[in-house]
Amino acid sequence: MALIEHTTEAPASIIRLHERDDVVIARVPLPKGSEILPGIVLTSAVPAAHKIAIRALRQGDMVRRYGQIIGRATRAIEPGDHVHVHNLGIGDLEGDGHEQGDAKGYVKDYAIGSEVTPVERISPAATFMGIQRADGRVATRNYIGILTSVNCSATVAHAIADHFRRDVHPEAMAAYPNVDGVVALTHGVGCAVAADGEALEMLQRTLAGYARHVNFAAVLVIGLGCETNQIDTLIESQGLNPGPKLHPFTIQQIGGTTKAIAEGIRHIEQLLAEANQVERTPCSVEHLRVALQCGGSDGYSGITANPALGAAVDRLVAHGGSAVLAETPEVYGAEHLLTRRAVSPAVANKLIERIHWWEAFCRVRGASLDNNPSAGNKAGGLTTILEKSLGAVAKAGTTPLVEVLEYAEPMRERGLAFMDSPGFDPVSVTGQVASGCNLIAFTTGRGSAFGCAPAPSLKLSTNSALWRHQSDDMDINCGALIDGDIDMEQLGEQIFQRLLALASGERSRSERHGYGQQEFVPWQIGVIT
C-alpha cells in the first residue's frame, strides 16, 4: 500500500489525494466564487497549494488529508471554505494518540511490522563512477577537510582553506584537478559544556563521523588548546587514528595564529599530490548512502517531490543502496507509517522512544512541536505539523525500515534508516553526513538554498513556478508531475539516474554556487555555561 494515493480530480484546478479526505488542494490560485466541484463554490480566494473543504465540518471534527488526520477544525467549516491556520489546528492532539488511544478518539495504530514487504533485489545492480578508497569504501567526492575542536580555531581553519580556494588562488590547486577542494567545517561550540555530558559526546561523535568520512582524502583537526573538547580525548574516545591523513594540532601548541596557519598550509601541500592520485571506476550502488531532506516545504511537497524521491529511494534500495530519513519533529504524527515498515519491534520501539523524547523535550520547555511548520511553510499551504509530517515521510518510499540511529551515529545496515535530529535542515544534514551519507537529496517548495560538504546535494523543486523563478538553485522540476508532463514512476527513475550522475562526479547547482562549508551545524543540545 502506497503512503499516498495520488489521483487528479477533474477539473484540473484541484488535486484530490485520497477518497477519505475532507479537503482538496488548489492546483493554481483560485478566485472567490470558483466552482471546484459540482455544487462546491469557493467562499474566498485560495492560493495555490492551499486546502479547500469539500464537506461540512463541525468545530472539533478531525480533518483528513492523504487519508490521515492532519488536525481538528477550530471552528465550523463549510464546503468551499479555505482551510488553513484560521480554522485548523493541532490542539489537544499533541502528545495524544499513542497506541493505547485516548478519550478524544485519536489513535495512532503503530501496527509494528505489519507492512514490511521483502525488497526484490535488482540484479545486476546499477553502477556509478566512484572513487574507491584503500579500505574498500567508495567516495562520491574527493576533498581535503579541516575540522575544528572549538569555535576559537575557526578563523585559522578558514584562513588555511582560503589559501587553496580555486576562485581566489587558482595556482594553489592547478596541478590537482582530481581534488574537489579544501573545505573548512567550523562550528560555534566546543567549550563551556560538561566534559562528560551528552552535548560534548554528540559533538565528538559528529566530528568523528566527518573525520572518517569517505569523501575526505585527508583531514586536519585544529584546536585552540585549552578548550573542553580536547583533541586527544576526541581521538581516543572515538577510536580515531592520527597520522598523515588525520593530522591534529592546536594553535597554542604550534605557537600562535600565524604559525598555525602556516602549519596547516604546509601539511595540506604535502597531501595534495597523493590525494590527486585517484580515478573514478564503475562501483556498485550498494556504496551509496543518500540523506533525505526537505526544506522550505509547501503544500505540493507531499504530492510531487517527496513521493517522487520516495520512488527513487525504492529503486536505490532494490539495487543495494541505502537512504537515511531524519528530522524527528517532521515525522511527528506520521511515525505510525514508519513503525508499520519496521523490520523488528526493537527498531520500531526506538523510533517511538525518540518521538516520546521530543514530546517531553518540548513540554518541559513550554514549547510545541506544532511550532513547526515555519512561516514559509504556512505561506506555502501547510498548516499543522501533522500535515507536514505526512508529506515528509513520503521521501522514504515504501521500503522496510531497517534501523533507527541516534544523531550522527554511524550506519550499520544497508537499506532505509531513520536518524533522530531536529527539523532545522543544516543541523539534520550535518548529522546524516556524520552517519556516513555520501549524497543528499533535498526537496523544496519555497526555494531553500543549501549544500553540505563533503557530500553533494541534489535539489528537487516541488512546483514549476519555483523551477522557473529559481532555476539557478534547482536540479530537477518535480512540478512536472502536476503539469501532467511525467508520471510518478518516470520521475522516480529520473531522480534515481540523476543521483547516479551526481555520485559519478556531475556537479549539482549548489556545488556550483559554493554551498557546503557554512552549512556544517552540529546539534547543540546541552547547556553552555
CB atoms within 10 A of CB 198: 11
Alpha helices in 397-507 (DSSP H): 425-435, 464-469, 480-483, 488-503
Which of 25-34, 258-267, 363-372 has the least mean pLDDT?
Answer: 363-372
Percentage, residues of the chain above pLDDT 70? 95
Tens digit of each residue's pLDDT (9 = 90 or more) over 471-512? 999 999 999 999 999 999 999 999 999 999 999 999 999 999
143-277: which CATH topology?
Answer: Ribose 5-phosphate Isomerase B; Chain: A, (3.40.1400)
CATH number of 14-89: 2.30.130.110
Rounded to an integer, what distance in angstroms lies between the CA atom of residue 396 and that of residue 374?
22
Tens digit of each residue's pLDDT (9 = 90 or more) over 36-86? 999 999 999 999 999 999 999 999 999 999 999 999 999 999 999 999 999
CA 268 to chain centre: 31
The string over 316-326, giving b where at least 16 C-beta atoms fall within 10 Å of a residue's C-beta and e elsewhere, is bbbbbbbbbbb
Q: Do 377 and 297 meet the contact criterion of CB atoms below 8 Å apart?
A: yes
CA–CA distance from 248 to each of 48, 156, 218, 245, 389 (Å)?
53, 13, 11, 10, 41
Backbone angles phi, psi at 161, to 5 degrees: -65, -40
Quote the pLDDT of residue 103: 35
Tens digit of each residue's pLDDT (9 = 90 or more) over 210-260? 999 999 999 999 999 999 999 999 999 999 999 999 999 999 999 999 999
The answer to whether the Cα torsion of 468, 470, 473, 479 is positive or negative is negative
Rounded to an integer, what distance in angstroms lies between the CA atom of residue 203 and that of residue 276?
30
**Taking 80 as the threshold, does the pLDDT of residue 104 lie above it?**
no
